[in-house]
Amino acid sequence: MPATTTLDLHVDELAARLGADRLERDVPLAPHTTFKIGGPADLMFRALTPDELAQAVLAARELEIPFFLLGLGANILVGDGGFRGLVIKNDVQTIDWLDDTRVKAGSGVKIYHDLIQMTVARGLGGLQHYVGIPSTVGGAVWQNLHFLSPPPERERTMFIEEVVEGATILSEEGEVREVDLDYFQFGYDYSILHDRKDVVLDVTFRLEPTDRQVMRDTIRENLMWRDDRHPDLWLYPSAGSIFQKLEGVGAGRLIDQCGLKGHVLGNAQIFPKHANIIVNLGGATSADVRALIDLAQTTVKRELGYELKTEIGMVGEF
């Protein structure tokens, strides 16, 4: 007989706090990720406002129910066994203009679509550099979203921190508070959120008046640049770069040097155009992806002496 879990003990109380009609059971997670891989979550709650997001996180913490906060599902690999606990789907789509140049966006707002379109239409620049990158506002702050731009030189990496003014967070201590830019201690692929259990509820961006045609040109050129190197997620679902950046040498270049570009295991493939990306050819499992990750790590270590560390998050049961 399976052991009783904290979820079993407290699911009724969780339903009472969040609404029984708002809790979905046995939800397949594959459709909620850019990899299109992953088994079911025991429970899912879709938070539609900053208050609902905070309430769901606080309830899970207080009831000691394992939970995972899910945005667009990029940069993660969900195990074939799914997630034992509560998945909190961040669907906070609030957007409020504070003045002519500052906008407050809910952490579930999609950067690459909704926010970029809206800000460019208003003639405000700063976010157009991140077009085509699947990320929510919360995810962008968590990883200090970046892209090599502006074109055509592409000599400088643009970071989301350059346009962040501040945010509203639910702290790991359980307090809703306002924080400024410095709080996040941004670095390359890093923010303080990696080391604290804070949850971003919304973010305030300060933008600059910019010529609309200049921004449209940047968007077009960035999309063309990405299309030459990255898979079309509709055709080849993926989670973005698999391995962390190595100083002075690219992980993809090392994998390519080992002759692994295009290698297939099961229904997963090391992408022929970019060896630091693994794609789902259709019906791939997390086991297929993990096998390719292990192959790349062991081969690069044996042949070139470098240790590849994964950049994507591993979620659930494998």
CATH of the structural domain 95-227, one choice from 3.40.50.720, 1.10.760.10, 3.75.10.10, 3.30.465.10: 3.30.465.10
Q: What is the pLDDT of residue 3?
A: 54
d(CA 137, CA 128): 14
Span(s) in the chain for CATH 3.30.465.10: 95-227
Query: What is the Cβ-side half-sphere exposure of residue 56, based on CA atoms within 13 angstroms?
Result: 30
Span(s) in the chain for CATH 3.30.43.10: 6-90
58 confidence band (pLDDT: 50, 70, 90): very high
Q: Is the pLDDT of residue 96 over 70?
A: yes
Query: What is the Cβ-side half-sphere exposure of residue 182, based on CA atoms within 13 angstroms?
Result: 0
Cβ contacts of residue 137 below 8 Å, gap of 6+?
A: 105, 106, 107, 108, 109, 111, 115, 200, 202, 203
Q: Per-residue pLDDT averaged across 151-158, rounded? A: 83
**What are the φ/ψ torsions at residue 278 (nearest 5 degrees)?**
-110, 135
Q: 50 and 95 in contact (C-beta within 8 Å)?
A: no
pLDDT, one tens digit per residue, over 104-131 is 999 999 998 789 999 999 999 999 999 9
% the chain with pLDDT above 90: 88
CATH of the structural domain 238-315, one choice from 3.20.20.70, 3.90.78.10, 3.40.720.10, 1.10.4030.10: 3.90.78.10
Q: Per-residue pLDDT averaged across 44-66, rounded? A: 97
CATH of the structural domain 6-90, one choice from 3.30.43.10, 3.30.70.270, 3.40.50.620, 3.40.50.11810: 3.30.43.10
Span(s) in the chain for CATH 3.90.78.10: 238-315
Strand 67-70 with 23-28, pairing: unpaired
Q: What is the pLDDT of residue 248?
A: 83
pLDDT, one tens digit per residue, over 17-54 is 999 999 999 999 999 999 999 999 999 999 999 999 99
pTM metric for this prediction = 0.93
Q: Is the pLDDT of residue 299 over 70?
A: yes
d(CA 266, CA 280): 10
Counts of helices then strands in the chain (DSSP H, E)? 7, 19
